[in-house]
Amino acid sequence: MGLSETDALDVEGIRADFPILQREFDGEQLVYLDNAATSQTPEPVVDAIVDYYHTTNANVHRGLHQLSQEASIAYEDAHDRVAEFIGADGREEVVFTKNTTESMNTVAYAWGLAELGPGDEVVMTEMEHHAALVTWQQIAKRTGAEVKYIRVDDEGYLDMDHARELVTDDTEMVSVVHVSNTLGTVNPVSELVDLAHDHDALAFVDGAQSVPHMPVDVGEMGADFFAFSGHKMCGPTGIGVLYGKEHILEEMQPYLYGGMMISKVTFEDSTWHELPWKFEAGTPVIAQGIALAEACDYLDDIGMDNVKRHGEQLAEYAYDRLTETGDVEVYGPPGDDRAALVSFNLGDVHAHDTSEILNEFAVAIRAGDHCTQPLHDKLGAAASARASFYLYNTREEVDKLVEAVDATRELFA
């Protein structure tokens, strides 16, 4: 693991940490290019989970015995480590959830239902993931608020002039995706956060596709809320993170109630635990949280700047190779200005057919609308095929992707 003398990722060394990449299907070695959905998990992270269950397995914050104390310390330290990884001020600003979607819903229900009403507006973008779009859409229906969408131009960029028109003094929340999971667009989130704050609105950034692939500093970004998932960044499934500014989380009321999140309970009323525990009702994601901290260590050891550069280079290479023939449409910005994914369609071949043929070559991609149905409607595509890259992928794997696309073209000729 680490860097070679050429200051590029030592991909072969990294790949040794991911035994699953050695799997073969009918004699073909797996080419895993579905990282925007879920990344693979390196052995140090798996070891952290196993070690917890072998040595420390106990519930947290509830026992005076040694195992419970050790588990509680490890779980609390995990919040500290994640806070450090994203530039938060401390564990008070880091709530562990199940995933990005639950993080979105936590804010929508705990803040949105209380703060939104008729005449208020939520501004999003046309490239939002359903986790944000559906959530705010449904909260708006309950509260009488209105949702507006910043246009995406023909190249896949946000129309920032339109953004400045939409965000007004009636705006209460600007909720934007940091990196589009369909277009690969990296949005100017700091500019959008500033725009929200200029109108006394809050800003929520969906970082599901950014935290795994680039350095993120929420303090520097200025977002009021920020969400991401562990399973896209070498961590386990079942763990997500909601970052929130401490003073805002203090004012919000929880929307999940029960054990763990309370301070004092009587038959008449209850009071809440301190941050972040008041938003973590019930037995929390203990093993997953500890393993997520290990994933942060793993990525920091490699260097997030290096991860970012590697993913961008692979995306540019894939963009160039796929568009060589002229019958492949790649959606989103040019190859040299996108994050680590390419969504595309081959002529009139349905994306599902493309994915099935690629699977015969052991090339794993995603096909569908990628939880961005309204965006696909705008693109005029029922679905798209998506190849997404991570720190263990290689140019040779991109070549194999292109070879499989060529075989698909010949099959449907």
Cα dihedral 334, 339, 341, 343 sign = negative
Structure tokens given for 182: 């369909």
Q: What are the DSSP calls for 175-238, one per residue?
A: EEESB-TTT--B--HHHHHHHHHHTT-EEEEE-TTTTTTS---HHHH--SEEEEEGGGTTS-TT
Q: What is the pLDDT of residue 37?
A: 98
Same domain? For 62 and 26 the reply is no
- The percentage of residues in the chain with a pLDDT greater than 90, rounded to a whole number, is 97
Same domain? For 131 and 232 the reply is yes
What CA–CA distance (Å, rounded) separates 139 from 23? Answer: 44
Structure tokens given for 354: 């493309």
Mean pLDDT of 268-275: 97
Task: For 223-257, give one letter per residue: b (16+ CB within 10 A) or e.
Answer: bbbbbbbbbbbbbbebbbbbbbbeeebeebebbbe
Type and span of the H or E element at 143? helix 130-143
**H-state helical runs in 7-65:** 11-15, 43-51
Residue with tokens 């977002």: 223
Same domain? For 73 and 137 the reply is yes
Taking only the tens place, the pLDDT of each residue in 186-241 is 999 999 999 999 999 999 999 999 999 999 999 999 999 999 999 999 999 999 99
- Cis check for the bond before 188: say yes or no (omega within 30 of 0): no
Residue 39 domain-assigned (yes or no): no
Residue 41 domain-assigned (yes or no): no
Residue 98: CATH number of its domain = 3.40.640.10
Same domain? For 136 and 236 the reply is yes
Mean pLDDT of 389-405: 98
Type and span of the H or E element at 322? helix 304-322
Same domain? For 205 and 342 the reply is no
* Cβ atoms of 18 and 35 closer than 8 Å: no
Q: What is the pLDDT of residue 264?
A: 96
Please say which residue of 273, 301, 329 terminates a domain. 301
pLDDT at residue 119 is higher than 80: yes
Average pLDDT of the chain?
96
Task: For 166-182, give one letter per residue: b (16+ CB within 10 A) or e.
Answer: bbeeebbbbbbbbbbbb
Same domain? For 74 and 186 the reply is yes
Residue 147 domain-assigned (yes or no): yes
Active site residue 234: no
Residues 6+ apart with CB under 8 A from 178: 186, 187, 189, 205, 206, 207, 208, 209, 210, 216
Same domain? For 309 and 321 the reply is yes
First to last CA, the chain: 43
Return the number of other C-beta atoms located less than 10 Å from residue 298's C-beta: 22
Taking only the tens place, the pLDDT of each residue in 327-379 is 999 999 999 999 999 999 999 999 999 999 999 999 999 999 999 999 999 99
What CA–CA distance (Å, rounded) separates 28 from 13? Answer: 21
Angle at 71 between CA 66 and CA 77, to 5 degrees: 125
Type of residue at 240: G
Active-site choice (371, 375, 387, 402): 371
Q: What pTM, to 2 d.p., does this model score?
A: 0.96
Taking only the tens place, the pLDDT of each residue in 58-90 is 999 988 999 999 999 999 999 999 999 999 999
Q: How many residues does the chain have?
A: 413
- How many structural domains compose the chain? 2
Assign 413 a pLDDT band (cuts: 50, 70, 90): confident
Taking only the tens place, the pLDDT of each residue in 1-36 is 433 333 469 999 999 999 999 999 999 999 999 999
Same domain? For 15 and 157 the reply is no
Same domain? For 267 and 359 the reply is no
What CA–CA distance (Å, rounded) separates 375 from 227? Answer: 21
What CA–CA distance (Å, rounded) separates 11 from 132? Answer: 34
What CA–CA distance (Å, rounded) separates 258 from 241? Answer: 20
Domain span at 313: 11-32+303-411
Angle subtended by helix axes 395-411 and 351-360, to nearest 10? 120
Residue 319 domain-assigned (yes or no): yes
Same domain? For 178 and 283 the reply is yes
Q: What is the pLDDT of residue 1?
A: 40
Residue 341: CATH number of its domain = 3.90.1150.10
Please say which residue of 275, 301, 327 terminates a domain. 301
